[in-house]
Amino acid sequence: MRPQPKKPIKARGKVLGGPVPLVCVPLVGRTREEILGEAGNIPAIEPDIIELRVDAWEFVEETAASVSMIRDVRKTVGEIPVILTCRGHWEGGFKQVSDGAKFSLYRMAAAEGLVDFLDVELAYGDEKIRENLAMIRESPVSLIVSSHDFEITPPKEVLFSTLAAQIRAGAHVAKLAAMPRNEEDVLTLLSATLLVRREYPDIPLITMSMGGIGAVSRVTGGLFGSDLTFAVGSKASAPGQIPAADLKQCLSVLYPQ
């Protein structure tokens, strides 16, 4: 059995931290038409969870329009869990988005129960993370605290300390992605994941090594303690993502039902 967290998170019938890692498909359209088109394809793709990358939206600074868009996506995808992500441009976001627009959207989407997870970068610091935790305290929404390095894979000790810092900050889910420069970097990422899973056994983890070299981590990461993997639906949101159908077939071999 793969290493699982002691406190998995249930969202709309899916279990993050269960026996099989969840498959997440990002929606990365820019316009209403593109976003709804991607959402319309979701029932055929059948992911476990979707991620709304609102940092790609042309209208993301318009909070009312963005909330309306999330409502429409929710109607289209039904009871599939949703991660709401507005990735900072300094960590691979599609464009720069003001903090005001980002966190207003987070607050309104969480208050309406439109999403199941919010993603906030560790770089915002403990105070901003605490603010978001307080905002969702009385709701079923969970907070993902994340870190992304699109240049290198830091040493194992740094990867471990980054994930540990996310957990200490109060993350319900800790997430880390790094770019490998060689095969050893992929092993470093997987080894750090396993170490964190053993040292911090409670909460779910999401880790990945990006790019072509790191693609193997998207298939095998669950064996080392990662509880979710990202796949391509219509478009990739990060380098090295595998088409959803292919990824699910690989996972069915590693985790036969």
> Catalytic: 89?
no
CA distances in angstroms from 235 to 99, 130, 193, 238, listed in the order given: 26, 33, 27, 9
Catalytic residue selected from 10, 148, 235, 248: 148
Give, as one character, the DSSP assignment of residue 104.
H
Q: Are the C-beta atoms of residues 172 and 203 closer than 8 Å to each other?
A: yes
Distance CA 179, CA 181 (A): 7
Q: Maximum distance among all alpha carbons in the chain?
A: 46
Nearest to 141 by CA among 169, 119, 167: 119
Q: Under 8 Å CB-to-CB from 162, ≥6 apart: which residues? A: 122, 147, 154, 176
Nearest to 76 by CA among 27, 128, 131, 30: 27
Catalytic residue selected from 14, 102, 172, 175: 175
> Catalytic: 175?
yes
Helices 126-135 and 99-111: angle between axes, nearest 10 degrees = 30
3-class secondary structure, 26: strand
Q: How many residues comprise the chain?
A: 257
Catalytic residues: 148, 175
